[in-house]
Amino acid sequence: MPQATQAELPSREAVDAALDQVYDPELDAPVTRLGFIDEVQIAGGHVTVRYTVPTFWCAPNFVYLMSYDIRSELSRVPGVSAVTVLVHNNCAATEINAGVNAGKSFDETFPDETDGGGLEDLRHTFTTKGFLARQDVLLRRLRQAGVRDEQSLALRLDDLLVLGEDLFVPIVPGEAPLRLPLAAADLEKYLHKRRKLGLSQTPADLLFTTIEGQPLHTLDLADYMRRSRSARLNIAFNTSLCEGLLRAQYRPEQAHRQDSLGDSLLTHAI
Protein backbone atom coordinates (compact mmCIF):
# COMPACT_ATOMS: atom_id res chain seq x y z
CA MET A 1 0.00 0.00 0.00
CA PRO A 2 1.44 3.39 -0.95
CA GLN A 3 2.29 5.74 1.89
CA ALA A 4 -0.06 8.72 2.07
CA THR A 5 1.79 11.92 1.47
CA GLN A 6 1.09 15.12 3.42
CA ALA A 7 -0.91 16.52 0.52
CA GLU A 8 -3.26 13.57 0.52
CA LEU A 9 -4.26 13.84 4.18
CA PRO A 10 -7.66 15.38 4.87
CA SER A 11 -7.66 18.99 5.98
CA ARG A 12 -9.70 20.16 8.94
CA GLU A 13 -11.41 22.69 6.67
CA ALA A 14 -12.49 20.02 4.21
CA VAL A 15 -13.77 17.80 7.05
CA ASP A 16 -15.73 20.68 8.57
CA ALA A 17 -17.18 21.62 5.20
CA ALA A 18 -18.32 18.03 4.71
CA LEU A 19 -19.97 17.99 8.14
CA ASP A 20 -21.84 21.17 7.24
CA GLN A 21 -23.61 19.13 4.55
CA VAL A 22 -25.10 16.75 7.13
CA TYR A 23 -28.61 17.79 8.15
CA ASP A 24 -30.84 16.72 10.98
CA PRO A 25 -33.62 15.45 8.70
CA GLU A 26 -36.38 16.50 11.05
CA LEU A 27 -35.04 19.96 11.89
CA ASP A 28 -33.77 20.74 8.40
CA ALA A 29 -30.56 22.28 9.73
CA PRO A 30 -26.89 21.21 9.65
CA VAL A 31 -25.75 19.16 12.65
CA THR A 32 -22.79 21.53 13.01
CA ARG A 33 -25.01 24.60 13.46
CA LEU A 34 -27.32 22.72 15.82
CA GLY A 35 -24.34 22.23 18.12
CA PHE A 36 -24.51 18.43 18.06
CA ILE A 37 -20.82 17.80 17.28
CA ASP A 38 -18.65 17.15 20.36
CA GLU A 39 -15.33 16.27 18.81
CA VAL A 40 -13.64 15.68 15.45
CA GLN A 41 -10.32 13.81 15.48
CA ILE A 42 -8.17 13.44 12.40
CA ALA A 43 -5.43 10.81 12.71
CA GLY A 44 -3.78 10.36 9.34
CA GLY A 45 -6.63 9.41 7.01
CA HIS A 46 -8.88 8.23 9.82
CA VAL A 47 -11.54 10.69 10.97
CA THR A 48 -13.49 10.07 14.17
CA VAL A 49 -16.61 12.14 14.92
CA ARG A 50 -18.32 12.11 18.29
CA TYR A 51 -21.70 13.80 18.61
CA THR A 52 -24.59 14.12 21.05
CA VAL A 53 -28.30 14.16 20.27
CA PRO A 54 -30.63 16.24 22.46
CA THR A 55 -32.53 13.44 24.17
CA PHE A 56 -32.08 9.81 25.08
CA TRP A 57 -35.37 9.12 23.25
CA CYS A 58 -34.62 10.86 19.94
CA ALA A 59 -36.06 8.57 17.26
CA PRO A 60 -33.38 6.00 16.33
CA ASN A 61 -34.21 6.28 12.63
CA PHE A 62 -33.24 9.97 12.55
CA VAL A 63 -30.14 9.32 14.63
CA TYR A 64 -29.13 6.52 12.27
CA LEU A 65 -29.60 8.85 9.29
CA MET A 66 -27.32 11.48 10.82
CA SER A 67 -24.61 8.94 11.66
CA TYR A 68 -24.92 7.41 8.19
CA ASP A 69 -24.78 10.81 6.48
CA ILE A 70 -21.75 11.89 8.51
CA ARG A 71 -19.96 8.75 7.41
CA SER A 72 -20.98 9.18 3.76
CA GLU A 73 -20.04 12.85 3.54
CA LEU A 74 -16.68 12.37 5.25
CA SER A 75 -15.82 9.33 3.12
CA ARG A 76 -15.90 11.59 0.05
CA VAL A 77 -13.35 14.05 1.47
CA PRO A 78 -9.97 13.68 -0.31
CA GLY A 79 -7.47 11.82 1.84
CA VAL A 80 -10.02 10.18 4.16
CA SER A 81 -9.43 6.44 4.33
CA ALA A 82 -11.62 5.52 7.31
CA VAL A 83 -14.45 7.12 9.28
CA THR A 84 -15.76 6.31 12.74
CA VAL A 85 -18.98 7.94 13.94
CA LEU A 86 -20.01 7.67 17.58
CA VAL A 87 -23.32 9.05 18.82
CA HIS A 88 -23.88 9.67 22.50
CA ASN A 89 -27.08 9.92 24.59
CA ASN A 90 -29.52 7.74 22.71
CA CYS A 91 -31.44 4.64 23.70
CA ALA A 92 -30.22 2.94 20.50
CA ALA A 93 -26.66 4.35 20.51
CA THR A 94 -24.98 0.94 20.85
CA GLU A 95 -26.79 -0.56 17.85
CA ILE A 96 -26.41 2.56 15.71
CA ASN A 97 -22.68 2.94 16.43
CA ALA A 98 -22.06 -0.72 15.64
CA GLY A 99 -24.27 -0.77 12.54
CA VAL A 100 -23.15 2.45 10.84
CA ASN A 101 -19.44 1.85 11.40
CA ALA A 102 -19.77 -1.65 9.97
CA GLY A 103 -21.47 -0.18 6.87
CA LYS A 104 -24.80 -1.85 7.64
CA SER A 105 -28.11 -0.53 6.39
CA PHE A 106 -30.81 0.51 8.84
CA ASP A 107 -32.76 -2.70 8.25
CA GLU A 108 -29.58 -4.73 8.90
CA THR A 109 -28.83 -2.68 12.03
CA PHE A 110 -32.30 -3.37 13.48
CA PRO A 111 -33.10 -6.73 11.87
CA ASP A 112 -36.30 -7.51 13.78
CA GLU A 113 -37.61 -4.01 14.25
CA THR A 114 -38.29 -2.71 10.74
CA ASP A 115 -40.58 -3.74 7.92
CA GLY A 116 -37.56 -4.00 5.63
CA GLY A 117 -38.48 -0.91 3.65
CA GLY A 118 -35.46 1.20 4.56
CA LEU A 119 -35.51 4.89 5.40
CA GLU A 120 -36.16 6.55 2.04
CA ASP A 121 -39.88 7.08 2.71
CA LEU A 122 -39.02 8.72 6.00
CA ARG A 123 -36.48 10.99 4.32
CA HIS A 124 -39.02 11.93 1.68
CA THR A 125 -41.67 12.81 4.27
CA PHE A 126 -39.33 15.23 5.97
CA THR A 127 -37.93 16.65 2.73
CA THR A 128 -41.55 17.47 1.86
CA LYS A 129 -42.07 19.29 5.15
CA GLY A 130 -38.84 21.21 4.64
CA PHE A 131 -39.91 22.07 1.08
CA LEU A 132 -43.22 23.54 2.25
CA ALA A 133 -41.49 25.51 4.98
CA ARG A 134 -38.81 26.96 2.69
CA GLN A 135 -41.30 27.73 -0.05
CA ASP A 136 -43.49 29.58 2.43
CA VAL A 137 -40.58 31.73 3.58
CA LEU A 138 -39.77 32.74 0.01
CA LEU A 139 -43.39 33.42 -0.98
CA ARG A 140 -43.95 35.59 2.05
CA ARG A 141 -40.72 37.50 1.55
CA LEU A 142 -41.91 38.37 -1.94
CA ARG A 143 -45.25 39.44 -0.50
CA GLN A 144 -43.50 41.63 2.09
CA ALA A 145 -41.52 43.27 -0.68
CA GLY A 146 -44.78 44.25 -2.36
CA VAL A 147 -44.98 41.53 -5.00
CA ARG A 148 -48.57 40.44 -5.58
CA ASP A 149 -49.27 36.72 -5.18
CA GLU A 150 -50.28 36.29 -8.82
CA GLN A 151 -46.97 37.86 -9.87
CA SER A 152 -45.02 35.50 -7.59
CA LEU A 153 -46.88 32.46 -8.85
CA ALA A 154 -46.07 33.37 -12.45
CA LEU A 155 -42.31 33.56 -11.81
CA ARG A 156 -40.10 31.08 -13.64
CA LEU A 157 -36.81 29.69 -12.44
CA ASP A 158 -34.75 31.88 -14.78
CA ASP A 159 -36.60 35.08 -13.83
CA LEU A 160 -34.68 35.47 -10.60
CA LEU A 161 -31.27 36.98 -10.31
CA VAL A 162 -28.89 36.53 -7.40
CA LEU A 163 -26.29 39.19 -6.72
CA GLY A 164 -24.21 38.58 -3.65
CA GLU A 165 -26.65 38.03 -0.78
CA ASP A 166 -29.54 39.80 -2.47
CA LEU A 167 -32.27 38.56 -4.75
CA PHE A 168 -33.61 40.54 -7.72
CA VAL A 169 -37.09 39.89 -9.10
CA PRO A 170 -38.38 41.38 -12.37
CA ILE A 171 -41.92 42.64 -11.91
CA VAL A 172 -42.62 45.17 -14.65
CA PRO A 173 -41.05 44.48 -18.07
CA GLY A 174 -38.53 47.15 -18.97
CA GLU A 175 -38.18 48.39 -15.40
CA ALA A 176 -35.41 47.65 -12.93
CA PRO A 177 -36.03 44.45 -10.98
CA LEU A 178 -37.15 44.58 -7.38
CA ARG A 179 -34.39 43.99 -4.83
CA LEU A 180 -34.99 41.66 -1.86
CA PRO A 181 -32.10 42.24 0.53
CA LEU A 182 -30.49 39.10 1.99
CA ALA A 183 -33.00 36.82 0.28
CA ALA A 184 -30.51 34.87 -1.85
CA ALA A 185 -30.14 32.31 0.94
CA ASP A 186 -33.92 31.84 1.10
CA LEU A 187 -33.98 31.07 -2.62
CA GLU A 188 -31.04 28.68 -2.32
CA LYS A 189 -32.63 26.77 0.57
CA TYR A 190 -35.84 26.42 -1.38
CA LEU A 191 -34.09 25.30 -4.57
CA HIS A 192 -32.11 22.77 -2.54
CA LYS A 193 -35.39 21.19 -1.44
CA ARG A 194 -36.73 21.25 -5.00
CA ARG A 195 -33.67 19.30 -6.11
CA LYS A 196 -34.07 16.80 -3.26
CA LEU A 197 -37.65 16.18 -4.36
CA GLY A 198 -36.49 15.62 -7.93
CA LEU A 199 -38.65 18.43 -9.34
CA SER A 200 -37.86 19.58 -12.85
CA GLN A 201 -35.24 22.35 -12.91
CA THR A 202 -35.35 23.70 -16.45
CA PRO A 203 -35.18 27.52 -16.68
CA ALA A 204 -38.75 27.85 -17.95
CA ASP A 205 -40.25 25.88 -15.03
CA LEU A 206 -42.50 27.72 -12.61
CA LEU A 207 -40.67 28.65 -9.40
CA PHE A 208 -43.59 27.82 -7.14
CA THR A 209 -45.31 24.46 -7.44
CA THR A 210 -46.69 21.78 -5.17
CA ILE A 211 -44.47 18.82 -4.29
CA GLU A 212 -45.98 17.11 -7.34
CA GLY A 213 -45.02 20.00 -9.61
CA GLN A 214 -48.55 21.40 -9.88
CA PRO A 215 -48.83 25.22 -10.29
CA LEU A 216 -50.04 26.94 -7.11
CA HIS A 217 -52.49 29.25 -8.89
CA THR A 218 -54.86 26.33 -9.29
CA LEU A 219 -55.20 25.98 -5.49
CA ASP A 220 -56.83 27.86 -2.63
CA LEU A 221 -53.65 29.76 -1.85
CA ALA A 222 -54.69 31.00 1.60
CA ASP A 223 -55.40 27.43 2.72
CA TYR A 224 -52.23 26.10 1.13
CA MET A 225 -50.10 28.76 2.79
CA ARG A 226 -51.70 28.22 6.19
CA ARG A 227 -50.67 24.59 5.98
CA SER A 228 -47.17 25.49 4.85
CA ARG A 229 -46.96 27.89 7.74
CA SER A 230 -47.90 25.07 10.13
CA ALA A 231 -45.06 22.99 8.70
CA ARG A 232 -42.72 25.91 9.32
CA LEU A 233 -43.99 26.29 12.85
CA ASN A 234 -43.46 22.62 13.59
CA ILE A 235 -39.86 22.63 12.37
CA ALA A 236 -39.06 25.87 14.19
CA PHE A 237 -40.72 24.69 17.39
CA ASN A 238 -38.87 21.38 17.41
CA THR A 239 -35.60 23.08 16.56
CA SER A 240 -35.91 25.44 19.49
CA LEU A 241 -36.88 22.57 21.78
CA CYS A 242 -34.03 20.31 20.66
CA GLU A 243 -31.36 23.00 20.87
CA GLY A 244 -32.64 23.95 24.32
CA LEU A 245 -32.66 20.36 25.57
CA LEU A 246 -29.11 19.83 24.35
CA ARG A 247 -27.90 23.01 26.02
CA ALA A 248 -29.76 22.32 29.27
CA GLN A 249 -28.18 18.90 29.61
CA TYR A 250 -24.85 18.91 27.76
CA ARG A 251 -23.79 22.48 27.04
CA PRO A 252 -23.98 24.15 30.47
CA GLU A 253 -21.97 27.15 29.27
CA GLN A 254 -24.77 27.84 26.77
CA ALA A 255 -27.71 26.93 28.99
CA HIS A 256 -28.76 30.58 29.33
CA ARG A 257 -29.18 31.00 25.57
CA GLN A 258 -32.71 31.37 24.25
CA ASP A 259 -31.87 31.96 20.59
CA SER A 260 -32.54 29.25 18.04
CA LEU A 261 -31.91 28.42 14.41
CA GLY A 262 -35.69 28.13 14.32
CA ASP A 263 -36.04 31.86 15.03
CA SER A 264 -35.43 33.01 11.49
CA LEU A 265 -37.59 30.25 10.04
CA LEU A 266 -40.45 31.37 12.22
CA THR A 267 -40.12 35.12 12.20
CA HIS A 268 -38.27 36.50 9.25
CA ALA A 269 -41.13 36.21 6.82
CA ILE A 270 -44.44 36.66 8.57
Restricted to residues 131-150, the positions that interact with other proteins (CB under 8 A) are none
Task: Quote the strand ranges of the chain, DSSP E.
Answer: 23-24, 29-30, 37-43, 46-52, 82-88, 161-163, 166-169, 178-180
55 binds other proteins (CB under 8 A): yes
Span near other proteins by CB under 8 A; candidates 2-10, 12-20, 43-51, 115-123: 115-123
Out of 91, 145, 157, 161, which residue is the one contacting other proteins (CB under 8 A)?
Answer: 91
Which one, 80 or 129, has the nearer CB to other proteins? 129
Backbone angles phi and psi of 91, in degrees to 5: -60, -25
Binding other proteins by CB under 8 A: which of 237, 251, 254, 268?
237
**Considering the rule CB under 8 A, would residue 82 count as an interface residue with other proteins?**
no
CB within 8 A of 241, min separation 6: which ones?
Answer: 54
Name the segment binding other proteins (CB under 8 A); options: 12-20, 37-45, 207-215, 248-256: 248-256
- Binding region for other proteins (CB under 8 A) out of 77-85, 190-198, 210-218, 241-249: 241-249
Give the Cα-Cα-Cα angle 142, 146, 148 (nearest 5 degrees): 75
Distance CA 57, CA 53 (A): 9
Q: Is 59 one of the binding residues for other proteins (CB under 8 A)?
A: yes
Is 262 among the residues that bind other proteins (CB under 8 A)? yes
Residues 14, 155: Cα–Cα separation, whole Å: 36
